[in-house]
């Protein structure tokens, strides 16, 4: 619009094209990831290993460990 090549009435149609292109290019990067997939750059760390479990911090503190 700023450059004068696009009229207000055309925005909706053009926006859909750009949205579809972005989804095609990047959807897999932000989509679902299987928990049994290996984490890139590690030898044997799986995605499930990266989930936070608040119970483990509670247990450590109960056992006398300090969690910073």
46, β-bridge pairs: 38
Question: Whole domain around residue 49: which residue ranges?
Answer: 33-68
Q: Which residues contact 33 (CB under 8 A, 6 or more apart)?
A: 47
Q: For residue 1, what pLDDT band results from cuts at 50, 70 and 90?
A: low
* Predicted pLDDT at 59: 73
Residues 24 and 39 both lie in one domain: no
**Element counts in the chain: helices (H) and strands (E):** 2, 0
Q: What is the pLDDT of residue 27?
A: 64
pLDDT tens, residue by residue, 14-68 = 888 888 887 776 666 666 777 888 888 888 888 888 877 777 777 777 787 765 5
Q: Is 68 found in the same domain as 44?
A: yes
Structure tokens of 42?
A: 């590690």
0.75 exceeded by pTM: no
| 65, 37: one domain | yes
Does position 12 have pLDDT exceeding 60, yes or no? yes
Distance (Å, rounded) from C-alpha 4 to C-alpha 9?
13
Alpha helices in 1-68 (DSSP H): 11-30, 54-62
Give the SS3 label for residue 8. Answer: helix
């Amino acid at each position: 619009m700023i450059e004068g090549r696009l009229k207000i009435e055309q925005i909706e149609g053009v926006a859909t094209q750009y949205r579809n292109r972005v989804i095609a290019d990047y959807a897999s990067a932000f989509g679902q990831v299987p928990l049994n997939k290996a984490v890139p750059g590690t030898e044997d760390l799986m995605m499930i290993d990266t989930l936070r479990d608040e119970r483990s911090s509670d247990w450590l503190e109960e056992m006398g460990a300090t969690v910073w």
